[in-house]
């Protein structure tokens, strides 16, 4: 069978089943079963699916996924996140659009500590949107920064998605995590600049209001007690990796213990919070791992049928410039991002895109980061970006999906601008991993 038939059957069936509404993990398994019967010798092929899953799951490189998820859930359920938000809120002072800045600053911190875009958006949405609406902020300025900063969790380490992408692309997990630091900070600075221009051009979108003044001493106290310790956990996490005390996979568990120790110091670590955190982390872990179970065979069948090499030969046969190829790949991710969740997109595209990027002699860390940014945009693109629905769930009544779609647009533009910058100046992504070696 020609490679394109294999490709058509694999992708057609997988994407078709997902679009119909079959749970993503089951869609992968169903595709694997059909492909195993067609291409891998029937029953033996299905046995191979099981054995591949066994091998793929018992892999130490996957440890950061449950650990980072647990870390974020602990940070949220113990109330440490709210504590940091309140501190930043008081520290911000009386600037136009202060609540939008609080969202970006607090959201960046939460993204760094949680590694979960959906958790970040849910927290920011329920905390900040009602307050901003009450203060007369325009609905677009109330909703937009939340989706923007929610997506930051994809690139700012620790990020569970980055670990998974690095595993799929067979690149260094630590390098990809560290590569996200500078672009993440650049992106949150862009958001700050956007809000500044926004409030300058349309001052009515963020009416000023009197804020209780906070003395310098109080401010210093807030920084020392409620902000610095939270960031120490990130420093501990990244520092342990860079100093060589722990591997990137182990650093995730250290971050978890760090958050637990912090919560214990603040006397907010209860059994209830711990149980809720385990519950939340377990849900996403099980979901992600079931998809990984299926994906091991999916990429093997892609290779076995010649679909991977055929697609790469076909794509490179056009002799497009590497930049044009990169844009095509990014376009595919952005298109899929309108309909699919990040995990499924990654598992469908990584087995093809990474070998293709290697053929084109791209720096794979640089490429991985661009892919992550593409995935981040997919969180907020209509009609089915996951964050749109998370925000809809926590936004006040009367907020329509159209409001949410429009509010996210300027922030999507910022991510696209960042991607352009990274393409033009690769050291934005590659400098930090290089010096950390």
Partner 1 sequence: MKALRYAAKGYDAVLYGMAYVAGFLMAAMMTVIFIDVVLRNLGYQSSAHFFTFTEYGLLVIPCLGAPWLVREKGHIYVEILLMYLKPRWRRLVTQAIGALCVAVCAILAWYASGVTLNDLLQNEKDVRSLDMPRWMVSGFIPLSFAMMALEFLRFLVRGENFLAPIAEEL
Residues that bind partner 1 (CB under 8 A): 17-26, 29-30, 33, 43, 46-47, 49-51, 53-54, 57-60, 62-63, 66-67, 70, 240, 245-246, 250, 253-254, 256-257, 275, 278-279, 281-283, 285-287, 289-290, 293, 339-341, 343, 383-384, 389, 392-393, 400-401
Closer CB to partner 1, 21 or 317, in the complex: 21
Cα separation, 55 vs 33, whole angstroms: 17
CB 189 within 8 A of CB 213: no
To partner 1, the closest distance from the beta carbon of 285 in angstroms equals 6
Q: How far is the CB of 172 from partner 1 (least distance, A)?
A: 19
CB of 57 to partner 1, least distance (A): 4
Question: CB 77 → partner 1: shortest distance, Å?
Answer: 13
Cβ nearer to partner 1, comparing 42 with 322 = 42
Burial of 435 (0-12, 13-18, 19+ CB in 10 A): exposed
CB of 207 to partner 1, least distance (A): 29
- Closest to 334 (Cα-Cα) out of 377, 372, 380, 370: 377
According to DSSP H, which parts of 58-180 are helical? 64-77, 80-91, 98-114, 117-134, 139-152, 160-169, 173-179
47 versus 223: smaller Cβ distance to partner 1: 47
Reference 112, options 72, 147, 59; nearest CA is: 72
Residues 6+ apart with CB under 8 A from 137: 97, 99, 100, 205, 206, 207
Residue closer to partner 1 by CB (options 18, 227) is 18
- Closest CB 23 distance from partner 1, rounded Å: 4
Query: Closer to partner 1 at the Cβ: 50 or 211?
Result: 50
Q: Which is nearer to partner 1, 25 or 325 (CB)?
A: 25
Compute the least distance from the CB of residue 401 to partner 1, in Å. Answer: 5
Q: Residue 160 or 419: which CB sits closer to partner 1?
A: 160
Q: Which residues contact 174 (CB under 8 A, 6 or more apart)?
A: 241, 247, 248, 433, 436
Instruction: Centre a 10 Å sphere on the Cβ of residue 246 and count the other Cβ atoms it contains.
Output: 17
């Amino acid at each position: 069978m020609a490679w394109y038939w294999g490709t058509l059957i694999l992708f057609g069936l997988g994407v078709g089943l997902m679009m119909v509404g079959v749970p993503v993990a089951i869609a992968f398994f169903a595709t694997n079963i059909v492909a195993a019967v067609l291409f891998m010798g029937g029953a033996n092929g299905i046995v191979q699916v099981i054995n591949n899953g066994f091998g793929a799951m018992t892999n130490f490189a996957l440890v950061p996924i449950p650990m980072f998820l647990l870390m974020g859930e602990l940070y949220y359920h113990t109330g440490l996140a709210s504590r940091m938000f309140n501190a930043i809120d008081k520290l911000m002072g009386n600037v136009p659009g202060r609540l939008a800045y609080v969202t970006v600053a607090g959201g960046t911190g939460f993204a760094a500590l949680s590694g979960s875009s959906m958790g970040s958006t849910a927290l920011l949405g329920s905390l900040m949107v009602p307050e901003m609406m009450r203060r007369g902020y325009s609905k677009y300025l109330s909703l937009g920064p939340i989706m923007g900063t929610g997506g930051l969790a994809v690139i700012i380490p620790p990020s569970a998605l980055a670990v998974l992408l690095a595993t799929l692309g067979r690149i260094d997990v630590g390098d990809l995590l560290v590569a996200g630091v500078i672009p993440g900070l650049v992106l949150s600075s862009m958001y700050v600049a956007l809000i500044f221009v926004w409030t300058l051009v349309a001052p009515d979108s963020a009416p000023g209001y009197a804020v209780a003044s906070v003395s310098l001493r109080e401010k210093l106290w807030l920084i020392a007690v409620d902000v610095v310790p939270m960031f120490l956990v990130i420093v501990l996490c990244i520092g342990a990796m860079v100093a060589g005390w722990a591997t990137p996979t182990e650093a995730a568990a250290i971050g978890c213990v760090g958050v637990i120790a912090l919560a214990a110091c603040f006397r907010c670590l209860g059994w209830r919070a711990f149980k809720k955190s385990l519950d939340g982390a377990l849900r996403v872990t099980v979901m992600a791992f079931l998809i990984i179970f299926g994906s091991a065979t999916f990429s093997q069948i892609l290779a076995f049928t010649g679909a991977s090499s055929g697609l790469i030969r076909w794509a490179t046969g056009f002799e497009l410039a590497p930049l044009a190829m990169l844009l095509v790949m990014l376009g595919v991710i952005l298109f899929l991002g309108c309909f699919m969740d990040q995990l499924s997109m990654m598992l469908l595209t990584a087995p093809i895109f990474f070998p293709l990027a290697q053929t084109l002699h791209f720096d794979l860390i640089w490429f991985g980061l661009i892919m992550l940014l593409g995935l981040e945009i997919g969180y907020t693109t209509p009609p089915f970006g996951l964050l749109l629905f998370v925000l809809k769930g926590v936004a006040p009544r009367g907020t329509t999906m159209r409001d949410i779609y429009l509010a996210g647009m300027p922030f999507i533009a910022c991510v696209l601008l960042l991607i352009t910058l990274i393409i033009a100046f690769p050291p934005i992504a590659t400098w930090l991993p290089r010096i950390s070696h």
